[in-house]
Amino acid sequence: MTTFSHKILIVDDELDILEFLSYNLKKEGYQVFTAASGDEGIRIAKKELPHLVLLDVMMPGLDGIEVCRELRTSPGMDDVIIAFLTARSEDYSHIAGFDAGADDYINKPIKPRVLISRIKALLRRNQTGKDNASLDMGGLRIDRESYLVIKDGVELSLPRKEFELLSLLASKPGKVFAREEILNRVWGEEVVVGDRTIDVHIRKLREKIGEDFIKTVKGVGYKFEF
Amino acid sequence: MTTFSHKILIVDDELDILEFLSYNLKKEGYQVFTAASGDEGIRIAKKELPHLVLLDVMMPGLDGIEVCRELRTSPGMDDVIIAFLTARSEDYSHIAGFDAGADDYINKPIKPRVLISRIKALLRRNQTGKDNASLDMGGLRIDRESYLVIKDGVELSLPRKEFELLSLLASKPGKVFAREEILNRVWGEEVVVGDRTIDVHIRKLREKIGEDFIKTVKGVGYKFEF
DNA sequence: TTTTGTGTGAAAATGTTGTCATAATGTGGG
DNA sequence: CCCACATTATGACAACATTTTCACACAAAA
């Protein structure tokens, strides 16, 4: 069997990042293409039909989201895996809405080892045809199908309410969910539970997945961030 | 072998789009059903159990999202592939909250060639592993043809219900099957059996194949793992 | 008939969920 | 800047729900 090499396209306007990523991925044996703008990214993507596209969200001109949209509607691109590169500080709320095409979000700054393992996971996933109903972010994977949360590679099995709560919050990173809304969607409209119930579940979640993912917005509710 | 034809249901309130899509899909050999409203779509879906549903997001009355929700919670519909049709200009944020069921988003206007290739990809994706006659995993082989389970080389002969239950769970390792889903697919839609029936069969299975393969997810269902 | 398969109900075991009291923390007014 | 107030965090526990397990009844097959 000849060694098969995946094609990866990196689109980012910052040249040093481009080089950094390119270097590390090539070292892993991937076939790497780079583009410094959205337009160029689309052109190369159409020509090379890469298996995976790393897409910077913030770019002058065509931004990552628009590129993603364009790619997703291009012929032959149906199976392309698209991962967004996002700066940790950026507000995710506007991205969150766009769940049509992203397979993963990867935070900058990026440690090579982490990047490689995420990319391997992504490529593996799509190869087995297992189109997982799973979200992957900040070292946390939430798999709605297997009811499993994987944190840094370690499986956590959460009780139902906790899982649903996390699942809800993480479905729209950055968005603040009001307590009322949480109650409606996790517990249901008619169910009546005390005021502290949510807090307690939030606490248990934080114990399990770490303190940093769920942020309290006093007087309003909670939000998920990564 | 006779040619197998996939059933596709299109739901859209614009009749010319309905016709346009219908024409193109029929030409490809698909069995096409159409509905001009959400209600009609649900009715037809329940009757025909299509493999794939193309769902317009914006419709008067029941919109695509609501239809999708309804379908996803209908018995037997778990494997239906649902793709949303969206106008390019539409804001995705309101869709985002709805993470329950869409397998794909397809932008209008639609080029036939693109549509066909997306649909093929979607159908292909879901088909894998479905018709496998023999599954082999973790020292356990499940042979649907000979109705035999072989554990570490030893033949086990399981009663029909037990075999079908195991077969279902193992058809998608990792996936949690809700009790409701199990009932529908192993016992059938109309059959009414008590709550404890599933548990007892699970228990007998565990006795025979070992305790570790079938995991309980409390409040949700069971899943197979190896 | 004997054996095997299948479903039921009731008790026990298990894990999950909700509530309370109390501490900690943040917020806005003075 | 500090205080009083409102809100949230936390830990222990009680209440609850679901699943397990068992013994048994009945049906279907051998």
CA-based nearest distance B192→chain A, Å: 26
Q: Does B130 touch chain A (CB under 8 A)?
A: no
CA–CA dist A75, A144 (Å, integer):
30
Q: Of B63-67, B70-74, B76-80, which gets the smallest average pLDDT?
A: B76-80
Say whether both B91 and B155 belong to one domain.
Answer: no
CA–CA dist A212, B194 (Å, integer):
44
Length in residues, chain A:
226
Interface touch B174/A78, C-beta < 8 Å: no
Interface touch A172/B97, C-beta < 8 Å: yes
Say whether both A121 and A169 belong to one domain.
Answer: no
CATH number for position A163: 1.10.10.10
Question: Which stretches of chain B are DSSP H helices?
Answer: 15-27, 38-48, 64-72, 93-96, 112-127, 160-171, 179-182, 196-209
CA–CA dist A9, A26 (Å, integer):
11
What are φ and ψ of residue B214, in 5° steps?
-105, 120
pLDDT, tens digit, 9 for 90 and up, residues A173-216 = 888 999 999 998 899 888 889 989 999 999 999 999 999 999 99
Q: How confident is the model at residue A118 (pLDDT cuts 50, 70, 90)?
A: confident
pLDDT, tens digit, 9 for 90 and up, residues B147-177 = 888 887 788 889 999 999 999 999 888 889 9
Question: Residue A76 is part of which domain span?
Answer: 3-130
Say whether both A115 and A194 belong to one domain.
Answer: no
CA–CA dist B51, A223 (Å, integer):
37
CA-based nearest distance B93→chain A, Å: 4
Q: Which of residues 144-173 of A touch strand C (CB under 7 A)?
A: 157, 159-162
Mean pLDDT of chain A: 80
Say whether both B60 and B168 belong to one domain.
Answer: no
Say whether both A162 and A76 belong to one domain.
Answer: no
pLDDT above 70 covers what percent of chain B? 76
Q: Does B117 touch chain A (CB under 8 A)?
A: yes
CA-based nearest distance A16→chain B, Å: 33
Question: Which of A82, A91, A93, A98 to mutate to test binding with chain B, by most B CBs within 10 Å of its CB?
Answer: A98
What is the distance in angstroms measured between the alpha-carbon CA of B173 and the sugar C1' of D27?
33
Interface touch A96/B96, C-beta < 8 Å: yes
CA–CA dist A217, B10 (Å, integer):
43
CA A22-A24-A27 angle, 5° bins: 105
What is the distance in angstroms measured between the alpha-carbon CA of B200 and the sugar C1' of D21?
9
What are the distances in angstroms from CA B145 to CA A125, B23, B77, B180, B202?
A: 29, 38, 25, 26, 22
Whether residue B31 contacts residue B119, with contact meaning beta carbons closer than 8 Å, is answered with no
Beta partners for residue A83, in sequence order: A54, A104
Tell me which of A103, A130, A157 is where a domain ends. A130
- Bond preceding residue B109 cis, omega within 30 of 0: yes
CA–CA dist A161, A181 (Å, integer):
15
H/E segment holding residue B13: none
Q: What is the pLDDT of residue B89?
A: 47
Range from A61-65, A70-74, A124-128, B215-219 that averages highest in pLDDT: B215-219
> Which one has a higher pLDDT value, B59 or A107?
B59
Tell me which of A69, A104, A130 is where a domain ends. A130
Say whether both A106 and A182 belong to one domain.
Answer: no
C-alpha closest to that of A17 among A57, A48, A71? A57
Q: How confident is the model at residue B91 (pLDDT cuts 50, 70, 90)?
A: very low
- Determine how many CB atoms are found less than 10 A away from the CB of residue B100: 15
- DSSP conformation class of A140: E
Say whether both B185 and B95 belong to one domain.
Answer: no
H/E segment holding residue B104: strand B104-108
Say whether both A24 and A68 belong to one domain.
Answer: yes
CA–CA dist B35, B41 (Å, integer):
5
Q: Of A183-197, B64-78, B171-185, which gets the smallest average pLDDT?
A: B64-78
Q: Does B99 touch chain A (CB under 8 A)?
A: yes
pLDDT above 80 (res B110)? no
Residue of B nearest to A76 (CA): B117
Q: Does A155 touch chain B (CB under 8 A)?
A: no
* Alpha-carbon torsion, ordered B163, B75, B56, A52, to 10 deg: -30
Handedness of CA A28, A30, A32, A38 (dihedral sign): negative
Strand D contacted by A196 CB (< 7 A): yes
Q: Which of residues 159-188 of B touch strand D (CB under 7 A)?
A: 179
Q: Of A59-73, B30-44, B209-223, which gets the smallest average pLDDT?
A: A59-73
Using DSSP, state whether B115 is helix, strand or coil: helix
pLDDT above 50 (res A132)? no
Mean pLDDT of chain B: 79
- DSSP conformation class of A198: H
| Cα end-to-end span (Å), chain A | 40
What would the two tokens of residue A41 be? 């990214």
CATH number for position A93: 3.40.50.2300
Strand D nucleotides below 7 A of a protein CB? Answer: 7-12, 17-23
> Which one has a higher pLDDT value, A206 or A26?
A206
Nearest by CB: B117 against A78, A98, A101: A78
Q: Count of A–B CB contacts within 8 Å?
A: 69
Say whether both A15 and A92 belong to one domain.
Answer: yes
Tell me which of A74, A99, A130 is where a domain ends. A130
Say whether both A118 and A160 belong to one domain.
Answer: no
H/E segment holding residue B141: strand B140-143
> Which one has a higher pLDDT value, B79 or B188?
B188
Say whether both B23 and B114 belong to one domain.
Answer: yes
Interface touch A160/B105, C-beta < 8 Å: no
Q: How confident is the model at residue B78 (pLDDT cuts 50, 70, 90)?
A: low
pLDDT above 80 (res A130)? no
Q: How far is CA A161 from the centre of its chain?
A: 23
User: Count of domains in chain B?
Assistant: 2
Interface touch A101/B103, C-beta < 8 Å: no
**Strands ordered across the beta sheet of B221-224:** B176-178, B221-224, B214-217
Q: What is the pLDDT of residue A124?
A: 62
Q: What is the pLDDT of residue A58?
A: 77
CA-based nearest distance A66→chain B, Å: 11
User: Measured between beta carbons, which residues in chain A are less than 8 angstroms from residue B113?
Assistant: 75
Q: Does B178 touch chain A (CB under 8 A)?
A: no
pLDDT, tens digit, 9 for 90 and up, residues B41-60 = 988 888 777 889 998 877 88
Handedness of CA A124, A128, A134, A140 (dihedral sign): negative
Nearest by CB: B92 against A74, A97, A147: A97
> Which one has a higher pLDDT value, B106 or B78?
B106
Say whether both A123 and A160 belong to one domain.
Answer: no
Interface touch A159/B121, C-beta < 8 Å: no
State the amino acid at position B189 in one-letter form.
E
Residue of B nearest to A131 (CA): B125
* Alpha-carbon torsion, ordered A3, A50, A18, A90, to 10 deg: -130
Query: What letters, b where the CB count within 10 A reaches 16 and e where it falls short, cover B15-38?
Result: eebbebbbebbeeeebebbbbbbb
